[in-house]
Amino acid sequence: MNFLTIQDVSHVYFSKQTSTTALHDISLTVNEGEFISIIGPSGCGKTTLLSIIAGLIKPTVGTVILDNEPIHMKNKKTGYMLQQDYLFPWKTIEENIFLGLKLTNQLTNKTKIKTLSLLKKIGLSNVKDQYPSQLSGGMRQRVALVRTLATDPKLLLLDEPFSALDYQTKLTLEELVYLTLKQFHKTAVLVTHDIGEAIAMSDRIYLLSKGPGKVAQVFTVPKELRQLSPLEIRNSEQYNELFTIIWKELESLEGKN
């Protein structure tokens, strides 16, 4: 059974003068425990799509079914990590990562400890009493990730979560997130610009084209790769093959515009 079903979703942004069709007729399904990535040129509607899945934007037409229920704003099953970190500058790192727990009334000693251990795993336990302005961009992004994971959502929506990180940290985190999600059998939708990242982490990759955004192609990451961790994948033969295919595809997409 499908955990997430997106059915014929289109979205148009209106202003008084203009209308921008951001998404056109998107349909896709994700099973429980699957990890999918969305790639595509800048402005093709990736963020819009995530916002729709999170229930923050009502699509102009189409339906989104999550865990057998139409999505709505008050749903607590999804964790959404925005494209920028949006840590609250007036809260300490600790207060920031407890935010979701507090809002959903789950702030207990147990969840606190769990969240702090997550912060530690991600290499930032020493900054918990600092304010976001004292952290570098990469550190902030990692904190935002912990904030999203803290409420233990069934569906994770990640909008370029690793873009501000140096290569090394990025790989470590990919590994960490990947293993954590697999371990607890979570479902995830990742938006990224990095083809390598998409291949390394996901079961399926949706390539969106622009103007307006629609699904141009779907790539399934081969079974053999799926059994490896993101680090190992990058060193495999098949990785390079898939990378080249997707790249070509992206290139031809750009060419068409």
Partner 1 sequence: MKEKINVPLLHQQYRNQLRKEKRWVLFFQILIFLAFFLFWQVASHFKWIDPLIFSSPITIWNLFLDKVSDGSLFPHIWTTVFETFLGFIIGTLGGTIFAAILWWSNTLSKIFGPYLVILNAMPKVALGPILIVALGPNMTSIVAMGVLVTIIITTIVIYSSFREVDPNYVKVLQSFGATKFQCFKEAILPSSFPTIISTLKVNVGLSWVGVIVGEYLVSKQGLGYLIIYGFQVFNFTLVLLSLLVIAVFATIMYKLVEVIEQKLLKNG
Residues that bind a second copy (CB under 8 A): 39-43, 83, 136-139, 163-170, 193-195, 247, 250-251, 254
- Closer Cβ to ligand ATP, 193 or 234, answer by number: 193
189 SS3 class: strand
Q: What tokens were used for 223?
A: 């079974």
Select from 115-123, 133-141, 168-176, 194-202 the region that touches ligand ATP (CB under 6 A): 133-141
Query: First vs last Cα of the chain: how many Å apart?
Result: 37
> At residue 21, what is the residue type?
T
Q: Which two tokens stand for residue 237?
A: 């033969």
Site for Mg ion in 48-87 (CB under 5 A): 83
Q: What is the DSSP letter of 188?
A: E
Residue at 212: amino acid letter: P
C-alpha–C-alpha distance, residues 27 and 7, integer Å: 5
Could you tell me if 28 and 34 are in contact, meaning their C-beta atoms sit under 8 angstroms apart? no
* Bridge partners of residue 12, in order along the sequence: 21
Least spacing, CB of residue 205 vs ligand ATP, in Å = 15
Of 42 and 109, which CB lies nearer to ligand ATP in the complex structure?
42
Residue 137 is a binding residue for ligand ATP (CB under 6 A): yes
Count of residues binding ligand ATP (CB under 6 A)?
14
| Element holding 146 (H helix, E strand) | helix 137-150
Q: Should residue 243 be labelled a site residue for ligand ATP when binding is judged by CB under 6 A?
A: no
Q: Which of 2, 5, 12, 234 binds partner 1 (CB under 8 A)?
A: 12
Q: By the criterion CB under 8 A, which residues form the site for partner 1?
A: 8, 10, 12, 14, 16, 19, 21, 24-25, 51, 54, 56, 60-62, 73-76, 78-80, 82, 84, 86, 88-92, 99-100, 103-104, 131, 133, 151
